[in-house]
Structure 1
Amino acid sequence: MKQIVCFHLFNDYSGSPKVLNMVLKGLLEKGENIELVTSKGGVLDELNSHPNMKRYSYSYRFSTNPALTMLRYSWVQLYTFFYAFRYIFRKNTVFYINTLLPVGPALAGRLMGKRVVYHYHENAFAKGVFYKALAFCMQKLAHEIICVSAYQASFLKRKKGVTVIPNALPTEFVSRLHPDAEAAFNRKTVLMLSSLKEYKGTREFIELADRLPQYKFVLVINDTQENIDKYLSDNKITNIKGLTIYPRQADVTSFYNAASVVVCLTNPQLAVETFGLTTLEAMSAELPVIVPTEGGIAEMVENGVNGFKMDVQELDEIEETIRRMLTNSDLYLSLSVEALSHSAAFNEQAMLQRIEDVVYGNK
């Protein structure tokens, strides 16, 4: 029986560790034995109590200082590179690398002759030289690469050993959503889950809230309250009527259950979403969505059917679309029904089985 050793750099509450959490839970429930090497303090901590899980942690966090962040990152790669050699004499060990970032253990795995599988969540080719270099390493080191969308896979020069497996949501998460399109329409609430990174469209969402004071706007930012306060102060953003901002949340289902529309305002000139986990979460709650026009996230939406594809540069049009959705009940209910219907295509069990087949080389 093969042993899975999983490496993930930064354990927080963003999309990639959430997907990893679901995958590992699914494998653990099937009786697999897994060892996880990651940082402390995020969604992956939920796995600690599972009897089939061994967890090894280190301290790691991002900094607003790029040089300091790179220093910390380099230290973790060096640490996990040497740490990985504890498995040198273990036969049938698979190194499961989540995201591009854990290049140290991936290199160690290849040097030891281990099977190395990458779960690739980013689009390195829409980012800088550093990520492109990591993507180059991934294509050289991986036996198999799991991509989350066809868009993402299209940028890889390597075509052999590349499998597209879209993300899904845990059944347990979906069970806590309460779809009710008529009630949602009456709530008149626009939701976005984002971060403080410039390309995520946080500033534009706040501007939309200022333009549309007749509606509620809720912003959930994957960061601490301290950093959020500093961001607002630095950007001279004061109280805006109807806007409520929340810091990082361990569970976001209550926000979807209180929303009407969910938007993603990632700027395609700065970054491209390879998949839209929050978009899938929204559609599973029977909520229409507004997403960017490019990327894997755009593959999830039929324009005008279950939502709209719009560029954040077209803020006037986004404003008008939100107003139209929240004043036209026939349009809203039609979009909602289709959103829920589209979400059914992203099945957890099917996704888990395909990932397991790739990890073990059974595909």
Structure 2
Amino acid sequence: MQQPVTGKFGRLEKDLFEMSMESAHSLVKKYGDTIDLVMFANAFGGEYSGETGLNNRISSALFDDPVPSIRIENTSSSGATAIHVARSLVDSGSAHSILIIGSEKMTSVNTRKSSAIIASLLDPLERSAGLTLPSLAGFLANMYMRKYGASRESIAQVSVKNHRNAIHNENAHHMKSVSLSNVLASKTIASPLRLFEFCPISDGSVSLLISGDEDAASMSGKGIRIAGSAMSSGLTQISMREDILRLEVIERSSSAAMEQAGIAPKDIDFAELHDMASILEIVEAEAIGLFPRGSAWKEVLDGSMDPDGIMPVNVSGGLLARGHPIAATGLAQAHEAYVQLTGSAGPRQLKDPHYGLSVNMAGFGNSATCIAYEAN
């Protein structure tokens, strides 16, 4: 994987096309002659921007000669899904070098409309009963605290940590720290979770290049290796799941990705997890096996997931503070893996990492894509 390019996340003036062109331009300028496929990861372009088929418009604008393009859509896991599919195509020999552009323009509508668009990924019957992604996160937090005796402060501390991490990420939506009292005093969204425990509505775009080992060796610049990638899908109907506290799609996808890479949880030096809500970082860390089930809340309080802890999680600021432009998120996680493993993360650089892991989840455990990264 060659150097990803990301712009600032947040409320941006540029439209979906302009953001996508901007993030892809430098990669095309440098590697354009080698690219034989463009993948455009985008979840809700039609709903937010009223435009579909944007992959063809982008491809034709970026290249003088025609380069085929496709759109990848897997709701909030669109970005990592595109990486997984691109890796499979390159490994099979069907393509040599694939440009992936992950973009979302979400601030073009008001918050109520945006919430309705995102809720469309839930099961229709459950949606009609009033379920939303925030309400599901609230249920999860209550169940987790009840089962494992977790303190309310431990879950809120995830937001404190990730906002603190984002101060050192110049592309983050929120580059401002929040205190524990700030988090707990913010507006209740889905009890017990508060406003600062949910990701903001963000615009953003990230582009990267996936190439085979032989092609990557001939390219200038640093690269990292995708050592493993796997997808898993689960029941869309949350009410039909045996245990909502078990995110089985993450258990399966992370296990398969680590098996491909020949590593175990103890070998991972850092993880970028899908913290759409604060409680999800805790439950996902346990699903991967980074910590025993029911214990991650204590590890948050002890600082184990801090950048200088035994298992740094969401050093980029995560979705909570970096932002969550839906289809760009999986690529933003890959960007963080790249800068960490090439020693180019600046003030948030970890000490000598060799393996990183990312989890990009669709919906509320409807699907998940896990990617293991290795330094060259």
Question: When the two structures are superposed, what TM-score results if normalisation uses the length of structure 2?
Answer: 0.30
Q: Taking CA–CA contacts closer than 8 Å with sequence separation of 6 or more, which of the two structures ends up with the larger relative contact order?
A: 2
The structure with the larger Rg is 1
TM-score by length of 1: 0.30
